[in-house]
Amino acid sequence: MSELKRAVNSHHKLRDQGPYINYSLRIVGTTPDLASPSIVIECKTCDIKPLKALFKEKAKDKLYCGKSSRIFQLFRKNTPPKPASNLVYFRSDKDALNRRAAR
């Protein structure tokens, strides 16, 4: 997930929204049999398109995201070094809530 954060922080339009985008690892699917490892990205609705374009361009192959990634295709006959992850976008019209504990 640090690769996704790094890509957002280096993007000139999304840099300011970076602190309000949350990433979490989840198993996502409509049934337990269809569930797969996924990275859930919580962000504002207006940031979905730029995020999808950015992650498709920069981070998808490095994270083995999706079955169409170049790295996944290289290892498709063998077991890939990491399971392929899907990027799932959770939209909201409000900023994501970041909770921080006091020391």
Rounded Cα gap, residues 80 and 83, in angstroms: 6
Residue 100 domain flag: no
SS3 call for 38: strand
Which of 8-17, 65-74, 79-88 is the least confident region? 65-74
Instruction: Kindly state whether residue 19 falls inside one of the protein's structural domains.
Output: yes
Residues 83-103 have pLDDT tens digits of 567 888 888 776 656 666 666
35 within a domain of the structure (yes/no): yes
- Residue 66: inside a domain, yes or no? yes
Domain range spanning residue 66? Answer: 2-92
The token duo for 51 is: 């995020």
The two beta strands, 36-44 and 22-28, are antiparallel
Residue 103 placed within a domain: no
The verdict on residue 12 lying in a domain is yes
What is the token pair recorded at 46?
Answer: 């207006």
Read off the pTM. 0.68
Is residue 37 scored above 80 in pLDDT?
yes
Q: What is the DSSP letter of 30?
A: S
Give domain status of residue 67, yes or no.
Answer: yes
Give the whole-angstrom CA distance, residue 87 versus residue 43.
13
Based on the structure, what is the number of domains in the chain? 1
